[in-house]
Amino acid sequence: MAESHLISVLTKKRAELLGQIESHQKDIQRISEILLHVDHTIKLFSPEFDLRSIKSKRTNQRNPYFGRGELQTLVLTCLREAQSPMNYKEIMVQILEVKGMDESLRDDVSPSLIKVLNRLRIKGIIVAIGNHRPYLWQIVD
């Protein structure tokens, strides 16, 4: 009995994934056609131009919950106001509270928060205390 429920859920998930694949394949086909038109236009104006010399440009996926630089500002404010170094979870909880966001969005915000913490560490603005996780984070004096 439980197996039929499991099979039902898995078949629904498979159908959903197939739908996503079909949608993305249509997008790829549409974008490829546009790219072909751009290539022909480049060749029209400069026949000797080597199209292979053009490298692809990385696209960034923005987090829809924060404006440009907002998460970084929230992290720095959180660490400035802290009485002692904070761990990742404490920073996350405080940011979600400030933004009035539900705890269920933690998984959506987590990758962006990790990137911001690492970027600030690399820039020398904050420091991770400890040799193993969970790190405690604080602003460099």
User: Could you give the CA distance from residue 95 to residue 75 in angstroms, rounded to a whole number?
Assistant: 7
For 12-28, how does the pLDDT look when each residue is reduced to its tens digit (9 = 90+)?
Answer: 999 999 999 999 999 99
Nearest by Cα to 113 from 75, 67, 79, 64? 75
- Alpha carbon 123 to its chain centroid, in Å, reads 20
Q: What is the pLDDT of residue 78?
A: 94
Tell me which long-range contacts 129-134 makes (C-beta under 8 A, separation of at least 24). 129/85, 134/87, 134/88, 134/89
What is the residue type of 120? Answer: L
For 27-67, how does the pLDDT look when each residue is reduced to its tens digit (9 = 90+)?
Answer: 999 999 999 999 999 999 999 999 999 999 988 778 888 99
Judge if pTM exceeds 0.85.
Answer: no
Q: What is the pLDDT of residue 59?
A: 82
Q: What is the mean pLDDT of residues 108-137?
A: 90
For 65-121, how does the pLDDT look when each residue is reduced to its tens digit (9 = 90+)?
Answer: 899 999 999 999 999 999 899 999 999 999 999 999 988 888 889 999 999 999 999
Q: What is the pLDDT of residue 126?
A: 94
Q: Which residue has the higher pLDDT, 111 or 133?
A: 111
Q: What is the mean pLDDT of residues 122-132?
A: 89
- In the chain, where does DSSP find H-type helix? 2-45, 70-81, 88-99, 106-122
